[in-house]
Structure 1
Amino acid sequence: MLELIGYSKTIAGMVYFMKILFKRKFKLTTLLISLICTSVVLITVFLLFASYQFEKKSLTDTYLSLNSSKSEKISSSVNFLSKSMRISLQETTKYLRDHPEMTDKEIQQYLELLRSNSRYFNSLSWTDETGLVRNVAPITVGLKGNYVSGVLKDSVNAKVPMLAPPFTGLTGRMMVFMSEPYFDHNGNYRGIIGGAIFLQEQNVLSEILGNDIIDETGSYYFVVGPNGKLLFHPDSKRIGEFVEGNPMIPKLLNGQSGMERIVNSKGVPMLAAYNFIPEIGWGVVQQTPVSYIDGLLKKHIQNLLLTILFPFFIILVVSISFAKKLAKPFIDLADVVNQFGSDTKIQPPVHQSHWNREADLLTKSLIIAVEAVEKNKNKLVEEAMTDSLTGLPNRRKLNEMMVSLANQKQLFSLVAMDIDHFKSINDTYGHQGGDEVLKYLAKTVRSLIREKDMFFRYGGEEFVLLMSDTNTSEAYMMAERIRTTIADTISPIGKSITVSLGISEFPIHTQSLGDLFIFADKALYQSKTNGRNQVTIWQGPYNSF
């Protein structure tokens, strides 16, 4: 805004200067020199203004879109986790119902084994229909033999599956509690099987969401419960805190999803995207500081100035040297200047040979300047769709190509690819080593795929391969070739790495591009769940789980 105000003041100053000039008598050469200087400055100002507005809108839209994609992906992961946790509790109640002969000691051992194997909950418990805690794992929680109250007693009395809002339990821990009613083989209500996540301790949420919390742009995400309390946040000290003053939270609590520019509860302007998870009533927020966008804009303006100032200086010097009677060319140039600041493409002046050499040279110079600006604008658009580290097209280009193929109703397969244990690589070899691995993977895959295949960096260590006119069987063969080649090749860190891959197909699996990517991502998640370094084809919600 300050830059725009500065531009306005500059223009106003030039207008005032021109009024003074027209009131006085000047030589034609002096007048033409003044006109040329004014034209060059105006062109520079308008170019900067137009480029600033274009870049600002482009960056804002790009980061809102990226944040929206990230929040949707995290929401999908959290929702998938909650379903898995619910299934785990349901299977536990079924097992206890089918084995009524189990002793108290055997039930305790079973809960201990289940908790250590599944790792979904910090603790598992059986509370009977009277509210008495019959068993709890680990036993060190110390609640066995106590009667529950408050939220836990409400869960017992409800006799239905429940997910309680965050609360402080009997042990003084901030927790989320999921419960499943337990009926014996005769249909008698025997209480609840419950799992607790201790929010301020190491838990399944922090394990899944804890990687790459705050990236180099300052972007981060957090999760809120249905009562507005923080369930996950980069600052672990804020977990359990009520979020106040953030305009997105009331919208999330009302079940809304979206993206917008906001000022968060700490007074920091953010580009934020938020996504509501209706199945469990939680919300995910991903946001990027506006200050980072402002820094990019400042750098863009500086680079643009370095690009155009020297050509304009040459134009000015040459034009002044040959300034004569150029009335007609100035009118033509004024028409061109009027195009600056508009959304339409700038049309350079048609080059015509003038009787006056100076006018001819000025026209040529302006054409060069306009072409330089258009070239720079096109370069910015290309850079916005290209990952600077790997040279691969990014998610924005992926979306464009997917929409194009879908509009043509063309069959294609989507292969989601993720480097296994990439965080460990970064921790061990540093981010420079991680960057070399990313570039190595991009180069290796591009050497293996067909000419018509398109390979994209989606973000972080995740990549996407788009294979037009290719079904899942053919895509699987290519994915296996990529996987085995990478696993059998020494990477820049001195040893081989592995990748996990997931495949979905359009339009066989779905005609929704959003769902198509979710299915490929879930298949990728299944590959990781099954031990990593493998390829999984999406088979539907039951088989993929």
Structure 2
Amino acid sequence: MFKLKGNGFRQSKKLSLTWLLTGLVTLVVLLTSSILLVGSYQSKKQSLTKTTLHLNYISADRMSKTMDSLFQSMRGSLKHGADKLSDFKAMTPKQVDDYLELMRNSSNFFNSIAVVESNRVIRNVAPASLGTAGRHITSKASMEALSLQKPYISSPYKTSNTKRLIVFLSQPIFSSNGSYLGILSGTLYLQKNNILSEVFGYNNVDGSGSYYYIVDSEGRLLYHPDKNLIGNDVSSNKVVQKLMKGESGEQQVRNTRGVEMLAGFSSVSANGWGIVVVTPIGLIHNELMSYIRTIIGYSLLPFIILLMSIIVIARRFAWPFVHLANLVSKMGNEKIVLPEVKPHWSREADLLSRAVLLAVANIQKQTDQLTHEATTDALTGLMNRRSLENTISQWITSGLPFSLIMLDVDKFKFVNDTYGHLIGDEVLKHVAKVIETSLRPDESCYRYGGEEFVILLGGAGSEDAFDVAEKVRQALEQSKAPIPTKVTVSQGIANYPLHALEREGLLEKADQALYLAKSRGRNRTVVAES
């Protein structure tokens, strides 16, 4: 009696092989899935961080080159004006005022322009409504510029008269006999609309939350999305310190507010300023969380099926589970070639193999879908900037000659302000559709960012590209747009290898040609200068 009880007691403490295998395999699958998620998270984090840093640097470098060209043009405009005013003492005040207004309105470089005589008296100013003509200059910067008798650019400071935060450039004026007469100065109002905001547009690089700011050679903010910060000293920022040394690059940095940022930065050789493009690291975290949620969402149903199958079909042979665990453990580290599903002599192993392979296939399908989304513009369905840059790099590496058309929707800000951003989106989709229907199958269009698009023409010269660009421009001008007015575009063309031998230089040449098309009245096509 006692012995039977003892046997019964010992039997009740034993664990069946089915439940033992179920528990072990379930534990393996849970651990493997966790490792997969963690490994995938870390791999994706490193990839996104590296890509974002590099893209921010590319943006900062492109903007710095644009600013460098802009300031060279501004200096050239002042030098030309100083040469024209070499005999301003022989001119009437009205003649000088008219010339200054002509300078200000024709180039739109400066918010105001003034002629200051060597005796520190402001002789003429445009616009005249400033009311400073006839007064003596009082700021330290303007007196320094007057005494140097050389081209000069100031640090930001507030004027005593208007209390505006300004930066000004000056050019000395010499008479025909070489005597020093004074300076011609052009002023930028940093907290108002100026040439910087007009050239660079909205302070948003790619619509993801990234933004840029500009600092001078002493580490003061010249341009920032928060205008209240303009003029602040941010020289304690490590990136700004590198810019003050004339360096360019990319790094993760904590800003003056303690927020971790992914920064790309580039110095401007023309004036010693620097441009920083930053992305809050929190945006990377949000994207990673969305990525993980997507993977879990696609894997949940197959995972549940897998666990239920294990509970039902677990048997004494463990080797199929080991095989499947090894297969899943490779995920996140390499591209898995799924083996052909072959019938297994064990019914339980056969069902489990099919369920796991289904889960792996779904995850890989989702990964492929995410890759597609990363290279496609969600609004227009065109390939995005990343695809464009990859294609250009591949063509340059292979030595394939090609032309590039960069086009920008004219007065798009007016469309958004007048009809709203939803209609603005419809206009962009309309533009993309017209462009695609105007191109041949071997010609491709990309959304470059905002209202800018780029067309790649493999093997095409500048003349052929001009014909294609005009075809697109005329088709858009004649199309029925989602708004009452016509939709037109300005276009700039650059050719490889005629205009540049590397990607950034080619895009810069096209951008410069586009800028010329804009400045010449819009709705036209300009080929970059050789």
Q: TM-score, normalised by structure 1?
A: 0.89
Partner of 1:448: 438
Q: Is the 8 A contact 1:213 1:221 kept in 2?
A: yes
The equivalent position to 2:214 in structure 1, one of 223, 235, 240, is 223
Alignment of 1:36-435 (within 5 A): 36-97=25-86, 101-139=90-128, 140-148=130-138, 150-171=140-161, 172-213=163-204, 216-341=207-332, 343-348=333-338, 351-435=341-425
Q: Is the 8 A contact 1:125 1:137 kept in 2?
A: yes
Alignment of 1:469-508 (within 5 A): 469-508=459-498
Q: Is the 8 A contact 2:66 2:508 kept in 1?
A: no
Q: In 2, Cα distance between the equivalents of 1:239 and 1:211?
A: 16
Larger RCO: Structure 1 or Structure 2 (Cα < 8 Å, ≥ 6 residues apart)?
2
Alignment of 1:531-542 (within 5 A): 531-540=521-530
Q: Residues 212 and 356 of structure 1: is their aligned pair in 2 closer, same or farther, counting only changes over 3 Å?
A: same
Structure 1 portions without partners, runs of 5+: 1-23, 541-545
Q: In 2, Cα distance between the equivalents of 1:182 and 1:480?
A: 44
Q: Is the 8 A contact 2:445 2:455 kept in 1?
A: yes
Q: Residues 117 and 537 of structure 1: is their aligned pair in 2 closer, same or farther, counting only changes over 3 Å?
A: closer
Q: Deviations over 1:395-422 (max 9, x none)?
A: 1111111111112211100111111111
Q: In 1, Cα distance between the equivalents of 2:338 and 2:88?
A: 84
Matched residue type, 2:43: F
Q: Residues 145 and 324 of structure 1: is their aligned pair in 2 closer, same or farther, counting only changes over 3 Å?
A: closer
Q: CA RMSD in A?
A: 2.2
Deviation at 1:27, TM superposition (A): 1.6
**Secondary structure at 1:97 match in 2:** coil
Deviation at 1:40, TM superposition (A): 2.6
Q: In 1, Cα distance between the equivalents of 2:306 and 2:295?
A: 17
Q: In 1, Cα distance between the equivalents of 2:204 and 2:325?
A: 52
Q: Deviations over 1:112-157 (max 9, x none)?
A: 4433443322322222233333333334342524255522222122
Deviation at 1:105, TM superposition (A): 4.2
Q: In 2, Cα distance between the equivalents of 1:197 and 1:442?
A: 36
Q: Deviations over 1:493-540 (max 9, x none)?
A: 244201111100001112111100100111111111111111110014
Q: Residues 333 and 113 of structure 1: is their aligned pair in 2 closer, same or farther, counting only changes over 3 Å?
A: closer
Q: Is the 8 A contact 2:306 2:352 kept in 1?
A: yes
Matched residue type, 2:276: V
**Secondary structure at 1:279 match in 2:** coil
Partner of 1:7: none
Q: In 2, Cα distance between the equivalents of 1:316 and 1:275?
A: 54
Q: Deviations over 1:32-67 (max 9, x none)?
A: 211231233123213322332233233333433432
Deviation at 1:292, TM superposition (A): 2.1
Q: In 2, Cα distance between the equivalents of 1:493 and 1:147?
A: 50
Q: Deviations over 1:94-126 (max 9, x none)?
A: 112267742344323322443344332232222
**Secondary structure at 1:274 match in 2:** strand
Q: Is the 8 A contact 2:406 2:491 kept in 1?
A: yes
Deviation at 1:253, TM superposition (A): 0.9
Q: Is the 8 A contact 1:348 1:366 kept in 2?
A: no
Deviation at 1:482, TM superposition (A): 0.3
Q: In 1, Cα distance between the equivalents of 2:517 and 2:222?
A: 27
Partner of 1:6: none
Q: Residues 526 and 112 of structure 1: is their aligned pair in 2 closer, same or farther, counting only changes over 3 Å?
A: closer
Matched residue type, 2:259: V
Partner of 1:8: none
Q: Is the 8 A contact 2:62 2:504 kept in 1?
A: no
Q: Deviations over 1:299-334 (max 9, x none)?
A: 222222111010111122223322212222233223
Q: Is the 8 A contact 1:325 1:356 kept in 2?
A: no
Partner of 2:455: 465
**Secondary structure at 2:85 match in 1:** helix
Q: Residues 528 and 109 of structure 1: is their aligned pair in 2 closer, same or farther, counting only changes over 3 Å?
A: closer
Q: In 1, Cα distance between the equivalents of 2:102 and 2:338?
A: 75
Q: Is the 8 A contact 1:115 1:122 kept in 2?
A: yes
Deviation at 1:206, TM superposition (A): 3.3
Q: In 2, Cα distance between the equivalents of 1:312 and 1:519?
A: 53
Partner of 1:521: 511
Partner of 1:3: none
Q: Is the 8 A contact 1:349 1:363 kept in 2?
A: no
Q: Is the 8 A contact 2:190 2:223 kept in 1?
A: yes
Q: Is the 8 A contact 2:36 2:329 kept in 1?
A: no
Matched residue type, 1:153: M
Out of 471-480 and 258-267, give the one that drifted further: 258-267
Q: TM-score, normalised by structure 2?
A: 0.91
Q: In 2, Cα distance between the equivalents of 1:483 and 1:396?
A: 25
Partner of 2:24: 35
Q: In 1, Cα distance between the equivalents of 2:202 and 2:497?
A: 33
Partner of 1:21: none
Matched residue type, 1:241: N
Q: In 1, Cα distance between the equivalents of 2:288 and 2:32?
A: 19
Aligned identity (percent) is 39
